[in-house]
Amino acid sequence: MRILHVVNDADTGGAQTLIEALAQRRGPQDEVHILVLLGRGGLSDRLEAAATTVDYVGMSRKEVLPARASVHLLRLVRKHKIDVVHSHLHQSDLVNAITPHGRPRISTQHAGEDASSSKVAHAAWKAAGKMSFRMDQMVACSPSARNITAEFGYTFPPEKMPVIFNGTTVTQAPSPNPGGQLLLHLARFAPPKDHRNLLETMARVHAQHPQARLLCAGNGVDEANTQLRTWRTELGLDGVVEFAGTITNVREKLRQAAALIFASYNEALPMAGLEAISEGLPVITTRAGDAAFMTVDEHLAVPPRDPDALAAAVDWFLTRTPEQVDDLRQASWELSHRDFDINRATERYMAIYRDLAHS
């Protein structure tokens, strides 16, 4: 079977990580091709290693009309004799829907709330929703991702949209507890990730726990970001918070941290959180979207946009005994093993591909 994935960019994100995992688990006779609307990104090396081929349209984020992407998509479908076209994220869904490639179409809905970064992105989402009747199948990565389709006027019926949780590789056992008070935040620099709330939270945490440190990684989250540097200095966090930018050694960083933290006001089900619990790393998060699904204690999930509440959750975690932390780590790993194993997600997607290809 020959699957073509269409995705907006090749930066770190849940959609890109899912595509990588599906490509890595393809059968020996299968092919997985990827079309990226923009250029190379932070995850390009990994995607290129996992897939049969990766092509880049080279669009800019300001382009409104996806004509170039449609031409590129049509050419790849014919060149590789594609059986199914699977799009991720709304601009890519729109390209998939309007291109007359004649192949079955599937889309995965990755967002649980409106996270449009611009008016162009918002318009593309609305247009993708109106054109979703052209999809042969749609999948949601979480219940909130399915629920929002009604808000955006999707013409594909939500009752026919199964939920397949984004999965990840689960380790054989929780990774060893590294100790310490290093918190890790993995997210691109975008308003819904609420980095201001994150840093305000860390200022409160550091006042109570002077040894606590925060490592932030993600596209645009680096020392060149003047807004982040200004906030860090303003809140007295120089030397406490590090901005590492895009990283490829995610698992290594997860194993070095005490916990993963999310401060978002908009999420669906973050792939970074699923990777964390697969290592036994507890997640402390806001209740944005379905992020609370990744937590193993009620103290670890709090309302969005409330740095006092998020700081209290971190304080609760940092004051646990080593034995209690080990229990939280074991529970996190068991949650991942039970509900978020990528092998189960792959099996469900492969079944959909087969049904579409043979229908």
Show the domain range for 161. 2-167+341-358
Based on the domain organization, do 159 and 198 belong to the same domain? no
* Lowest-confidence segment of 15-19, 108-112, 193-197, 348-352 by average pLDDT: 108-112
pLDDT (tens digit per residue) in 229-240: 999 999 999 999
pLDDT (tens digit per residue) in 32-80: 999 999 999 989 999 999 999 999 999 988 776 789 999 999 999 999 9
Based on the domain organization, do 105 and 218 belong to the same domain? no
The answer as to whether 332 is a domain residue is yes
Based on the domain organization, do 32 and 115 belong to the same domain? yes
Based on the domain organization, do 326 and 193 belong to the same domain? yes
Based on the domain organization, do 205 and 231 belong to the same domain? yes
pLDDT (tens digit per residue) in 129-185: 999 999 999 999 999 899 989 888 899 999 999 999 989 988 999 999 999 999 999
The answer as to whether 204 is a domain residue is yes
Mean pLDDT score, 296-310: 99
Mean pLDDT score, 124-130: 88
pLDDT (tens digit per residue) in 274-289: 999 999 999 999 999 8
Say if residue 121's pLDDT is above 80: no
What's the pLDDT at 115? Answer: 59
Stated pTM of the model: 0.83
The CATH number linked to 187 is 3.40.50.2000
The answer as to whether 105 is a domain residue is yes
Based on the domain organization, do 193 and 148 belong to the same domain? no
The answer as to whether 176 is a domain residue is no
Say if residue 118's pLDDT is above 80: no
Based on the domain organization, do 152 and 209 belong to the same domain? no
The answer as to whether 174 is a domain residue is no
Look at the chain and report how many structural domains it folds into: 2
Backbone angles phi and psi of 26, in degrees to 5: -70, 155
The answer as to whether 120 is a domain residue is yes
Average pLDDT, the chain: 95
Based on the domain organization, do 263 and 322 belong to the same domain? yes
Based on the domain organization, do 214 and 330 belong to the same domain? yes
DSSP 182: E
Mean pLDDT score, 293-313: 99
What's the pLDDT at 349? Answer: 98
Q: Name 226's Cβ contacts closer than 8 Å, sequence gap at least 6.
A: none
Based on the domain organization, do 20 and 110 belong to the same domain? yes
Based on the domain organization, do 41 and 135 belong to the same domain? yes
What's the pLDDT at 116? Answer: 63
The answer as to whether 54 is a domain residue is yes
Mean pLDDT score, 207-223: 97
Say if residue 325's pLDDT is above 80: yes
The answer as to whether 175 is a domain residue is no
Based on the domain organization, do 127 and 101 belong to the same domain? yes
Say if residue 117's pLDDT is above 80: no
* Chain centroid, CA 172 distance in Å: 23
